[in-house]
């Protein structure tokens, strides 16, 4: 599932996957891609995802509850996610 992702994209996906397994997809839909969401704090990301779902007529989801059921800890607010790029992220394959 992560094949073909750049190291930075993989790091970004893993950050949001800490919330719930489907959350990276929801974030990517709301932002256009995961990289645009990286500088935002978890609350801002959650608000943008909720607004995107509302504007597209989708039912709201309690991502924290979904993640708890899956055993995920929630989104990590740090390190400086905006600074993660392919140039400074090791390949994690």
Confidence (pLDDT) at 33: 83
- Tell me if 17 is assigned to some domain: yes
DSSP three-state, residue 7: helix
- Tell me if 84 is assigned to some domain: no
Supply the DSSP string of 57-91, one letter for each residue.
TPPP--HHHHHHHHT-------S-GGG--TTTS--
DSSP assignment letter at 15: H
Q: What is the pLDDT of residues 46-67, one digit of tens each?
A: 999 999 999 999 998 988 888 8
Q: State the residue for tokens 């996957």.
A: 17
What is d(CA 86, CA 6) in angstroms, rounded to the nearest whole number?
7
- Tell me if 34 is assigned to some domain: yes
Average pLDDT, the chain: 78
Segment among 3-12, 24-33, 60-69 with least mean pLDDT: 3-12
- Tell me if 86 is assigned to some domain: no
Q: Which domain holds residue 13?
A: 7-72
Please give the tally of structural domains in the chain: 1
- Tell me if 80 is assigned to some domain: no
What is d(CA 68, CA 63) in angstroms, rounded to the nearest whole number?
8
- Tell me if 15 is assigned to some domain: yes
């Amino acid at each position: 599932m992560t094949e073909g992702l750049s190291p930075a994209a993989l790091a970004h996906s893993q950050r949001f996957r800490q919330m719930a397994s489907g959350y990276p997809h929801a974030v990517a839909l709301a932002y256009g891609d995961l990289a645009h969401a990286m500088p935002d704090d978890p609350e801002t990301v959650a608000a943008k995802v909720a607004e995107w779902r509302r504007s597209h007529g989708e039912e709201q989801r309690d991502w924290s509850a979904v993640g708890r059921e899956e055993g995920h800890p929630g989104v990590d607010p740090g390190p400086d996610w905006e600074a993660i790029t392919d140039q400074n992220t090791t390949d994690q394959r």
